[in-house]
Amino acid sequence: MRKTVILLFILYLILFPSLSFARVFEKNTVLMGTDIEIIISHDSEEKVNTAFDAAIGEFKRIENEMSEWIEGTPVSNINQKAGKEAVVVPEELFKVIATAQKVSELSNGAFDISWASMRGLWKFGKGEERVPSPEEIRQRLPLVNYKNIELDEVKRTVFLKKEGMAIGLGAIAKGYAVDMAMQKMTNLGVKNAIIKAGGDMRIQGTKDGEPWDVGIKHPRDRKKLLGKLNLSNISISTSGDYERYFIKDGVLYHHIMDPKTGYPSRGCQSVTILAPDTMTSDALSTAVFVLGPEDGMRLIKSLSGIEGIIVDSNGHVHYSPGLGKGVDRRKGQ
């Protein structure tokens, strides 16, 4: 009898290999100035640990190439030589900056990596909150213009035309890092996983044969969700006014700035973008947030493979056509 049970169990595994006993593993760390969460569904803890290490290593590698805060990185060199000379950059950094420029064009400057030229005027750290004076903003704002970022594809150089200009890739490099980290894990045989970096997330494969269940945060009530999506093989990013902010004299100031005014964008509470890759969803969530609900939804509708959820400043929720009047619970398959 015992032999029969064992034989039947072996036959079961042979006939249904996809029904192996996967477990869910999770790892958390802080990189690129944000919380990183990696979730893997797999039956081998050894392979999972290897995948964790590879993904974290990829985040570190990209941070050391694309951070403007670390001295000696290519981005730091670009900023230091603003108005003086062009800088030869690595191929993938050039790709990310070129993609940022395309999103700037698509959004008519609502997304602009030269926003970093305003750094230091606004401060959001606890106990360091600061609202700059109108004069400070007026003096610095002329440095913010993506059209003054000159790219030479042949020489693979980046040149900031005005001295004092700076670029910052915080609204696109994290998404790129998520994509590259997931690719590393996939190459190691991990097919079912989620990587989350702040508001940016890549959902790959399934959990127990079903799409992953992903909740969309309510921007004003942390205990509530706007809704849930069952997702697979897709990226999702959320930009909101509730992550880094302070309130002064009854006014909420958040970190998502309008490059044209130098002040926080006022049209939205949150924007969630679904896209084929996380670099795209990351950049577009910021662009749409700055554009506001009407122009932002117009941009979403104009792009193939892009869906979005916008919560406007009055708390009204707007869904793109692919999501209908609610959430499509099977996106990305």
Say what the pLDDT of residue 227 is: 86
Say what the pLDDT of residue 325 is: 52
- Mean pLDDT check: name the lowest of 27-31, 78-82, 162-166, 242-246: 242-246
Confidence of residue 327 (pLDDT cuts 50, 70, 90): low
Say what the pLDDT of residue 12 is: 45
Say yes or no to pLDDT of 245 above 60.
Answer: yes
Q: Residue 278 has what DSSP assignment? A: H
User: Of the candidates 319, 314, 54, 67, which has an alpha carbon nearest to the alpha carbon of residue 170?
Assistant: 67
Say what the pLDDT of residue 15 is: 52
Percent of the chain beyond pLDDT 70?
Answer: 91
**Per-residue CA distances from 307 to 122, 203, 243, 279, 327 (Å):** 31, 15, 22, 15, 10
Q: Provide the angle, in degrees to the nearest 10, between the axes of the packed helices 173-187 and 278-291.
A: 160
* pLDDT, average across residues 274-295: 98
Q: For 67, how many CA atoms within 13 A lie in the half-sphere containing its CB?
A: 14
Say what the pLDDT of residue 161 is: 98
Say what the pLDDT of residue 5 is: 44
Q: In what order do the strands lie in the sheet with 193-197?
A: 23-31, 34-42, 193-197, 200-204, 234-240, 268-275, 307-312, 317-319
CA 155 to CA 153: how far, in whole Å?
6
Say yes or no to pLDDT of 315 above 90.
Answer: yes
What CATH topology corresponds to 68-160?
A: T-fold (1.10.3980)
Model pTM score: 0.90
58-103 pLDDT, tens digit each: 999 999 999 999 999 999 999 999 999 999 999 999 999 999 999 9
Say yes or no to pLDDT of 10 above 70.
Answer: no
Which residue ranges make up each domain of the chain? Answer: 18-64+171-323, 68-160
What CATH topology corresponds to 18-64+171-323?
A: T-fold (3.10.520)
Mean pLDDT of the chain: 92
**DSSP H helices in 271-320:** 278-291, 293-302
17-74 pLDDT, tens digit each: 545 568 999 999 999 999 999 999 999 999 999 999 999 999 999 999 999 999 999 9
